[in-house]
Structure 1
Amino acid sequence: MTNSVAGSPPQMFAQVSGRQGALADVAVLMPAYNGQADVERTLASFAEDAPLYALIVDDGSAPPIVAPNVPGMQVEVVRMAQNGGIERALQAGIEALAARGFQYAARIDAGDLAVPHRLAKQRARMEAEPRLAALGTWTQVVNQAGEPLFMLRPAADALTLRRTRLLIAPLVHPSVMLRVAAVIDVGNYRVQYPAAEDLDLFLRLMERYDCGNLPELGLYYELNEGGISATKRRKQITSTLRLQLRYWNVLNWRDWAGIAKTLLHFVTPYRMLQKVKRAWFGRGV
């Protein structure tokens, strides 16, 4: 793993203490594999009233990701020696942020867009509630043309998220701000559950900490239907089922329903599932 930084030598980013502003302890964390234009568009979408720092974990892109010049933002690129998947990229990213002294990691994926002042709102809530280890937001899902498809509105409070965690995704991963120390405490991102690394992390965090959501729009998530491969989808469903069986509470009917829902995904075509989501979430449910 090697480092490169836009406009400054790597040693200038060794510690967070030298940075200024209300978001000095927050880092945007973005894994990326190719897609230079998407990386640039996503980082440019951040609008905050303080300087920002962003860490891109380049997961073996060819050509390598180049740190874009974004006004008001310092951008560092950590390069993985080879493509190892998002799980390893995020693991390396959290380790790098912990070493640099950051308290919060604000997740986003290349191609998604941040709503203005998302980071300030999330940090304020997490500062006020020290038990919060992860805080997401509502998310508008859009197609590649930017047209709205449906809105994801996960529950705001920790208790509801614990009750429904195996039935409904508790947080939208690219919208989440994470407390770096808590992520390290529970073992960081892991590779044991391919394509479900986010659910694996959230379930472990919920065993020791609280997770929540801001009940307002914080992210525009781009759904690339043509980019979903059958192999990755099947891995995700399998990993999700393994996690559900591991955390299954036989006294919670929602856990039973969640397992049934996952089993149904095995036999339901992807595009049909997207139609169901648009019909269901589009009604504001």
Structure 2
Amino acid sequence: MILNLHLLRVFFAVAEQNGFSRAAENLHISQSAVSKAVRELEQQLDLPLIERGVSGGKGIRLTESGKALFEHARGIFALERAAVDDIRARVGLHRGSLTIGASTTIASYWLPQFIARFTMLFPDIIPRILVGNTQAVSQDLLDCRIDLALVEGPVEDALISSSHWHEEELVVVAASASLLHQRPALSADHLNKLLWIVREPGSGTREATQQLLKEHGIDPAHTMEVGSNEAIVRTVAEGVGIAMLPRAVADDLLALAKIKMLELKDDTGRSIAFSRSLHLLEMKSRPHSPATLAFLQILGQVLQPA
């Protein structure tokens, strides 16, 4: 059996747009042509792919076979976009594109220095940066929306290569007015009772924080979610809770004495130092464009966070 890619593209558009009319608009063809293409594909495969007339007669629903085919189609067309991008980029570094995915902290504090270096060396290529938490950026990589990604933790996916890029210091902070700074040592039991300000699920910072605290017997009973590290550090500076944050995020308010670092000690009385790994993500099956290779070379020159 040979799969007709035109019919598959029409089916994919219907499933992605959740309707025949929106798919027709997106493909710039008539709705009747869309319906005909989907029917032909169902006949070729001898499988129902779409349940029509759901949600009051206007919606659609994919059958189990349709869901499976949709996931295959997503991969096929993602590779198609990757192939087109790669061929275009081979014209050379005087033309081309580079799209980088980065988690929020890396985009704010680490990435700018490398972007500046790249644009100085290759002024004809203007990079594009997509920012999100680790989970979102990983999905962008799988969908071939980005060429590579820098995130705050490893990602376990058979299609993604995750390699260690750099170590980043983490600190536990509280407002400067907090009485916690007067305590010579903070036990795990005491820390468990405090309010911790944390990132949302899917954030590399949150995952690193939970893992490091757990290693030292700290499992906070009370947490409050805040959607960015910058918002967290300013919330703490106002006297709300404590937080573990990248040192780069905390530096400005530490210098202004708005917050102070809390010293955590282990059972032997030694100070505990926290750090996390930053990771480079790449698609295993996707060849690198010349622009991507050039940026990877620059990334090897690890500097300090801005």
Common fold by TM > 0.5 = no
Q: TM-score, normalised by structure 1?
A: 0.23
The structure that has the greater radius of gyration is 2
Q: TM-score, normalised by structure 2?
A: 0.22
